[in-house]
Chains A and B, each alone.
Chain A
Amino acid sequence: MSSHSPDSSSHDAQHSSADPMIGPGHSLGSVTDKITSLTLRQGVGWKWLLGFAVSFALVMLLMLSVAVLFKYGVGVWGLNIPVGWGFAIVNFVWWVGIGHAGTLISAVLLLLRQQWRTSINRFAEAMTLFAVACAGMYPLLHMGRPQYFYWIFPYPNTMDIYPQFRSPLVWDAFALTAYGTVSALFWYVGLIPDMATLRDRAKTRFSQITYGFLSMGWRGSARHWKRYETAYLLLAGLATPLVVSVHTIVSFDFAVGIIPGWHATVFPPYFVAGAIYSGFAMVLTLCIPLRVAYGLKDFITDRHLDNMAKVMLASGLVVAYGYGMEAFMAYYSGHDVEAYMLENRMGGPYAFFFWSLLACNIAIPQLLWFPAVRRNSKMLFVIAIIINIGMWLERFIIVVTSLHRDFLPSSWDMYYPTFWDWALYIGTIGFFFACLFIFVRLLPAISIFEMRELLETEEGGNGHGH
């Protein structure tokens, strides 16, 4: 059962019958109708309404915490002088990391011709966008004077001053805006043919006009498809180094510093691996309930969960290696403050979080080695949530334990997050879910035209049945 080759583009009939990427008995029409019906049906279910209401209430909490923050300043947070970066940066890195799996699924797996990406890519890309939206708030909100945020961009001004391009925080501004924009473009390009499908299936005038407007008059012409596929492939080729560079630049925020525990050259690849790790954990956290709630088990099959769990395991092992290297280099450096940094993580006041981190990110995910665990969606869901927590702890450990005890013992202090730290964090989670709820209601959560394409290739070995 677990022995299929990773090359799913081969047309052998075993894939199609024994372990399909798409449920049996589907035709081009039924795939289209199933996915469009999620969007084009009238009204909303009570579960959707409840979920959206809870998320929206948390968006209100977000608004409140932002209002309080703007009125009283960043002092409402638990920051102090040694620990100038707390939850805001921890959550920023956490959210950016979550976003990366979406790009990985949509772009990297496209380049590798992994067809199992098809039923999860739209959803994962949406997740990227909303996670980047959440992440993008923090660099603005954690500024002492957020009203001057635009000074970080180079524009001709009467003061004749410009940003200085040697700071990773300026790089962040470019990386995040580029990443958000390119992800949005990639996502929108992927949506154009599906919007055309919705336009053609829509019953009400309003939705016909809306989807017609959004689909830009797509008519599926062969020349258009050719250019479309070229554009899509090029975008995937561009998004792949982009996703690597973005989390690399985020890791430079730390690695370029002189703080022991931050100044580690292993950070760029290790942050990227961590981003993939947490991103896949979030994709699994979201798609396991989604496929149950919307009856999508024909499209998001156990095989998808299995493959995602494998990628998660692979990236998790790179993360585990990163922890090992961090620890080894701290001792190997012969630098006493570096060595103390590690001692402090293992036995200092935040030791509980450090050991929880190792449990969440290294110990428990080893269960993913077992095919039975990867195929058990309930266990996978629990492990994915544990990894989400673990990856949050990782960022907390890197940011806080490195800062709270560094070179000068007279500048040691503890960081205790306040109510407003938590409110803002929970608020962004609410914002993320509110966006996702709107997305699954208004747009096709699974790429329709790519499912049609997949169906056609899957059918290759079995003859034509539609």
Chain B
Amino acid sequence: MATKWDPETYGLMAEFNEPEDLIAATRKAREHGYRWFESYSPFPVHGLSEAMGFRHTKLPLIVLTAGLLGGLGGFGLQYYLTVIEYPLNVGGRPLFSWPSFIPITFELTVLSAAFGAVLGMLGLNGLPRPHHPVFNISEFASASRDKFFLCLQSRDEKFQMQSSREFLESLEPAAIYEVPQ
């Protein structure tokens, strides 16, 4: 095949029966120089993302930022409304009765951080995205049951239909599929 980028093909998918095989295959794909590939498993397999070379996610930073904003916003809101916007004598308490502001500050911190965690996770993962080329092969349905997949994408510099298929065959998968775009 002359062109490296085949617009008709999303990639080549290899199916494995055991998570250990997928980890080994993933490591080999990386060592082999592939960069645009993805491993799919029905549950989080320990060591898989490390084998892919994916170690760090920005998610904790997003959650921290969201939590701090929620906390500062919550405290600031209470301070502004009770001290500046409409000061009232409630039960003889001081206007800036900060201990009373802590519960709401805390709740809003947690609420914002939780939104940060969920929306951040979905956003970084590019979800929701109901249509994706990997769903084009019906066998991929077992990725949510008991099978493990490695997909080399055709956009990879190193991807070539023939040599990539041979590489996948050397990993001794249960099956290899061509994934249409």
The residues of A with any CB-CB pair to B shorter than 8 Å are 27-29, 32-33, 154, 160-162, 164-166, 168, 170-171, 174-175, 177-178, 181-182, 185-186, 188-189, 193, 196-197, 199-201, 212-213, 216-231, 234-235, 238-239, 241-242, 245-246, 248-249, 252, 449-450, 452-453, 456, 464, 466
Q: How far is the CA of A162 from the CA of B38 in the complex (A)?
A: 52
Q: B154 contacts the other chain (Cβ, under 8 Å)?
A: no
Known: A165-B104, A174-B107. A160 touches B86 (CB 8 A): yes
CB distance from B56 to the nearest CB of A (A): 9
Q: How far is the CA of A29 from the CA of B114 in the complex (A)?
A: 33
Q: How far is the CA of A248 from the CA of B39 in the complex (A)?
A: 44
State the interface size on chain B (CB cutoff 8 A). 65
Is the Cβ of B145 less than 8 Å from the Cβ of A200? Answer: yes
Is the Cβ of A219 less than 8 Å from the Cβ of B135? Answer: yes
New A-B contacts (9) at CB < 8 Å, excluding given A168-B103, A252-B103 = A32-B146, A178-B108, A186-B114, A216-B128, A217-B131, A219-B140, A220-B41, A220-B143, A231-B59
Known: A213-B130, A231-B117. A197 touches B18 (CB 8 A): no
Q: How far is the CA of A119 from the CA of B82 in the complex (A)?
A: 47
Closest B residue by C-beta to A186: B114
Closest B residue by C-beta to A240: B110
Is the Cβ of B108 less than 8 Å from the Cβ of A174? Answer: yes
Closest A residue by C-beta to B128: A216
The 8 Å CB contact of A220, one of B42, B77, B113, B131, is B42
Q: B14 contacts the other chain (Cβ, under 8 Å)?
A: no
Is the Cβ of A229 less than 8 Å from the Cβ of B110? Answer: no
Q: How far is the CA of A197 from the CA of B42 in the complex (A)?
A: 8
Known: A162-B86, A178-B111, A225-B49. A154 touches B40 (CB 8 A): no
Closest B residue by C-beta to A449: B43
By a CB distance below 8 angstroms, the chain B residues around A168 are 103
By a CB distance below 8 angstroms, the chain B residues around A226 are 44, 49, 54, 57
Known: A200-B141, A216-B127. A185 touches B118 (CB 8 A): yes
Q: How far is the CA of A221 from the CA of B134 in the complex (A)?
A: 10
Closest B residue by C-beta to A193: B144
Is the Cβ of A238 less than 8 Å from the Cβ of B113? Answer: yes
By a CB distance below 8 angstroms, the chain A residues around B160 are none
Closest B residue by C-beta to A183: B114
Closest B residue by C-beta to A214: B128
Is the Cβ of A200 less than 8 Å from the Cβ of B144? Answer: yes
Is the Cβ of B127 less than 8 Å from the Cβ of A456? Answer: no
Q: How far is the CA of A238 from the CA of B111 in the complex (A)?
A: 9
